[in-house]
Structures are given as C-alpha cells and as structure tokens.
Amino acid sequence: MPLQAINDASAHDKMPGIGPHPKNLHAWWARLPLPCARAVLAASLLDDPSSNPNFADASQEEQEQERERLLQLIRATLQKDRQSAARAVELLREEVARSADGDLPSLLDPFCGGGSIPLEGRRLGLGVFAKDLNPVAVLITKASVELLTRFSEHPAVNPKSSAGLTGTGTWSRGAGLAEDVRFYGARIADLLRHDFPAGRSRERSARRFRRLRRPRSRSCQLRCT
Ligand SMILES: C[S@@+](CC[C@H](N)C(=O)[O-])C[C@H]1O[C@@H](n2cnc3c(N)ncnc32)[C@H](O)[C@@H]1O
C-alpha cells in the first residue's frame, strides 16, 4: 500500500480551509479522512495479482507490474487537485467493478459516525448500509451519502433561485442543492439571530431556547424543526 501518499493526503484532508468538503456539512469527532477510507476500501476490493486466478501463470515480474498498476490507480485518487482526483476515482470505480465481475459486494458500516466509509463506498460504486447510535451521525451520513446522490441533478426549489431557472441541465452536479442549502441556511441563520441576538445573556438565551423547545403553535413547531 502507498502508505506515505495515504498519510499525506489524509493529513491534508483534515486541515481546515481546504475548500469544499463533506466535513463542512457538520463537525464530527474522529471522522476518518476520506483518502484513508477510499484507499482501504479499494485495497480490500481489488485482488492482489498473487491471488488473482487471471495471473496464476504470470511471472513474478508480470505480477509486480500489475500490482504497481493497481497501486497507481489508488495513488492517483489521492491527489490534492480535486478534479484530477475525481477523474481518478472514476477509473478506480471501473477497476473495482471489473474485478468484481459485475457482482459488487455491499458495504455495512455499523458505526458510521461522520460517514466517511459509506461516502467512499458509494463513490466506488458499492451499495451501502450505515447506522450509528447517535442520530446526529445518522443525519450527517444521510445528508452526504443519500440526499446528495438523490438530488445532485435536481434544480433548486427555493423561490429565489427557481424564479431564474432557465431550463433543465442548469443545476447538475449538486448546483441546485447547493443553492437551496445556501438559501435556507441563510434563513435559519436569520431566525437564530432574531431569537438569540448577540449580547443577550446566557440565562435569557437558555430561557428562550426552552420556550422554543415547547412549541405551542404549529408555526412555532415549524420554526423549531
Ligand atoms: C470513531 S466513531 C466512527 C467514525 C467514522 N468511521 C467516521 O469516519 O466518522 C465511532 C462511532 O460509533 C458510534 N457508536 C458507538 N457505540 C455504538 C453502538 N453500540 N451502536 C452503534 N454505533 C455506536 C459512535 O456514536 C460513533 O459515531
């Protein structure tokens, strides 16, 4: 395994301010770096040539060449350049599908946390099942693995962006979803600023919080959820 490359890419993945990244959805402790999850999953799915029947009669040198080709496919996904890495993940996914002969296993992560393993499993084309004791972890994983996949090609639905919609195809690769997250995120931030203005004492904020958690009217319920 290209451990040095995996370590370097994982250290980079953990750094703050590296641009768009699933970790920005919500903080989660002990989140596995994505390059590490990707490399480990790929290595457990691809056969080493020494145990691949197609290479049973191959020489040591031919096996070594094949091993290096597979490792290079993994290494290429660890680049910092986002677009090159994304293209490399496509190639790796094709290799994984080829090696499984169209019969890819499913992935189960019973302690999914921030969802790094299910996310990389999906990127490699696996069906994934994930669970966690903590509902916040489940929500983060659901948002990044399930909702992103389901809505990445959908147009934005918020009233501001959908008014300017020029036709289908405008909102590909999650652009519509990103617009909606920005729009409704700003709304939630406005509501929070209204309910918890800067400078208010901790006691008053705590009282307000308790009142909001016991909604009396339907509209208040909607604001709290
Ligand atoms: C180290 S974190 C997993 C990190 C994850 N691999 C990631 O990349 O974010 C361990 C997770 O196990 C969960 N957990 C602990 N005990 C559990 C249990 N009995 N059943 C389900 N989840 C559990 C915790 O809530 C925590 O999210």
148 in a structural domain: no
Q: Which helix (H) or strand (E) holds 140?
A: helix 135-141
Pocket-testing residue among 34, 116, 133, ligand 1, by greatest number of atoms within 8 A of Cβ:
133
224 in a structural domain: yes
End-to-end CA separation in angstroms for the chain: 46
**How many whole angstroms from 109 Cα to the centroid of ligand 1?**
9
DSSP label of 147:
I
Check if 133 has its Cβ closer than 6 Å to any atom of ligand 1: yes
**How many whole angstroms from 138 Cα to the centroid of ligand 1?**
10
What pLDDT sits at residue 164? Answer: 59
Check if 222 has its Cβ closer than 6 Å to any atom of ligand 1: no
213 in a structural domain: yes
Cβ-count burial of 183 within 10 angstroms (0-12 exposed, 13-18 middle, 19+ buried)?
middle
Full domain range(s) for residue 189: 156-163+170-225
What pLDDT sits at residue 177? Answer: 87
What pLDDT sits at residue 221? Answer: 34
Number of domains, the chain: 1
101 in a structural domain: no
218 in a structural domain: yes
117 in a structural domain: no
> Is the distance from CB of 45 to CB of 96 less than 8 angstroms?
yes
Distance CA 149, CA 28 (A): 21
Residue 131, classed as helix, strand or coil, is: coil
Q: What global pTM score does this model have?
A: 0.82
190 in a structural domain: yes
What pLDDT sits at residue 165? Answer: 57
Token pair, residue 158, equals 């918020």
DSSP label of 159:
H
6 in a structural domain: no
- Rounded average pLDDT per 10-residue block, the chain, 225 residues: 96 91 89 97 95 91 96 96 94 95 92 96 95 95 89 87 60 83 92 89 87 57 32
